[in-house]
Structure 1
Amino acid sequence: MQQQQQKKYNSSSNTPINTPPIEETLRGFEWFTYMRANSPVVYDQQLNIWHVFRYDDVYQVITDHHTFSSADVPNFSQNNFLKDTIVAQDPPDHRRLRQLTNQAFTRRAIISMTESIRQLTQELLDQLIPLGTMDIVSDLAFPLTCNLIAAMLEIPIQDRRLVYRWVKGVDSNTPLLSREDVIKSHNRMGQELYDYIAHILEKRRREPCEGFISALSTAMSNNAGLSDDELLKFCVLLLVAGQETVQNLITNAIYCFTKYPQSRDHLLQQPEHMPEAIEEILRYLPPFWVTVRRTTVDAVVGGKSIPANMIINAWNASANHDGQYFADPEHFDIRRDAKRHLSFGHGIHFCLGAPLARMEANIILPMLCKQLKNFRRIPDRSPDITAGPLHQILSLPIMFEA
């Protein structure tokens, strides 16, 4: 931990329990290392939540859905965006939703998107390569993933800019002068998004086709399908969360390749290793850093007694760097077997879109490595990285040979 960094302490244990600012050297992982060794399960008195850091304990929290619930969790499943969606439900509701939505995420449906992914990626690269520089986030990862998810949801090309606006959550046409303005803007755009997706769903109910929306609309389990409200909420969840996940995966990959250029060079020589490299990227720098749960009963985690109805932050980013499961975990090694990482969760809440995210990365990243010749970071322009449950690289300027 850095000397100059201000820490908060649990008054009973003198254990630092705040997340540090994440800088380019990824000092957040130094914090995880310290916590796994000294306080792997710790109570945060100020926030009235528990933190869990070791792999075994994180695994316990995210897989035992009877004891650690996804429902009725403040600032998570009670959030309007997530409320009543598949990620914020326990069985039996979760089981029913999963059975229905799985019918749209078939292997055949995912493979059918291959050409669209390749085409949209190439169109963007054709525009950017002559420039010799780009911000990998704003110029490529963000618009590309917005276009991919919009195509999946059958949103017409002329309306894709609306998707950019909704995903960013910022109305560029309206100056935001206060917190109240921000809240009003978010609420207004949220309603626009729901109304727009509802219109598309209504059209597909009337005119089914071979697309993803039609597959969701016609999915049946025990003679019942998704209600209009469930279908709408799932599509909105897919649009926002699905876009963010793949954007972060692509951006994090380029971050790793520029930090460890020998890994990129290896993949240029042996592209068949890209699937293993993607798993290591997911382990080393996951798209989401933490999973939130609520105890339904008194529980014991890592030898610590946690009362019922407590909120737990299970740090999957820390679990991914647990030396008991990953040798030399701070070393980025694209040839390691990283499949046990917890970046997509585990158990009943394993990420439904994980196969799609992996496929997209397996198409997009080889194209970037091959066509952005000798890409590297621009000197004196550091990445802009935010900290928190959604660790996110907001800006990553790179240069390459046009």
Structure 2
Amino acid sequence: MNEIAKRIDDKMEHYIEALTEHVAIPSVSQLSFDQAHMRESATWIAAKFEALGLETEIIELEANGKQGRPAILASREAEPGRPTILLYGHHDVQPTGDYAAWDQDDPFTAVRKGDRLYGRGAADDKAGVMLHVAAIENADPGVGIRVFIEGEEEVGSPTFDEFLHTYKDRLAADVIVVADSGNWKVGIPSLTTSLRGVTEVEVDLEVLDHALHSGMYGGPILDSVTLMARLIATLHDEEGNVAVEGLLQEDTATVDYPEVDLRADTGILDGVQFAGSGSLAGRIWTKPAIAVIGMDVTPTEISSNTISPRTRAHISLRVPPAQDPAEAAQALVDHLVSHAPFGAHVTARVLEAGPGFIAGEDTPVQQLAHEVLAEAFGHESVDIGLGGSIPFISTLKAEFPNADILVTGVEDPDTRAHSANESLHLGDWRNAIVAEALLLSRLGK
């Protein structure tokens, strides 16, 4: 390790400068933003892999009427008898949201404060992209390298399946490393061995064919917002557990998540209680979770004394890792329709359904990954789950069933990915680079 770690330490300031340069490219993949920045970002990344001697190409795939964003494929063939490793990351980022919520003037101008680098994409996932660049540069040669840097992860990877089928031969590998997750805590490395699936349902509730004066008819007729609130309230029991019949209720987390830590990590207000039962880690990683993520309600500034006739809501369901997302989505739809309050007309439809992921049995490659993580971080590596969803990992698993899939990353509880003041812990990033360089080197032997 010492020689590889020393090489990386000697170049860390260079890597931080490169990451800062990449953060400055506002590569937001939503089509309402200037997509020239996506192409600029792809060109920047391609140059990095070309400089390492990899054969590199930028691809924009159009599939089923959907326009893909620029992706980067890079490769180097394996020496005889050596395995091939596929390294995944994504270079698109979330919008910044309200600039006023950031502690810096420009979220795309990375700011270094102590041991953290702040900026949109600094962690999710431009740090993952540069991690691959740095690891390849410093690893001992031998293994085959295939790199896939996606440009549409933040918008649901709409052409991922078609891309995978089209370029399957150029993506096939013995080991796949997905650098888009996180670690248990700062200084404690992890492999993510389970991910929840995700589904989103749109529900419409109607009670009138037109709005009514609330003074003239209020009393016997409840407004649609109140009825929607009553419907939504049926989704949880009195303890806050999800109460939708047909959803798995598995609590299989093996790591303890103390309540004091979760309070600190989330910023939950004093006095607010956590919902549900079972271990906190299980509630986040393996049990279902439901959130109302949007609802059409009259804004207060234009409100009037009117009984609203109809309300629409979008409901997000995080699906237990082992459950089929289509099955879970149907269970949610059935629950909503069957619990219509006071005979209100309720319809629901599935907008999205993405699968979860379970790593399965421990393998020699997973054991090696834990070994190099522990060596690089100076702390034992642990298996964790992730409450979020990365549906394409299941697609990779289905397409390459014999490949070991390692889900790693550089985020931590203070990263605030997708939020204001996103940041990267530079010490953990350095350790992750060392770990991946060691992994590539030892797989090569």
Q: Provide TM-score, normalisation by structure 1.
A: 0.24
Greater helix content: 1
Look at both structures and tell me which one has the larger radius of gyration over its CA atoms.
Answer: 2
Q: Provide TM-score, normalisation by structure 2.
A: 0.22
Greater strand content: 2
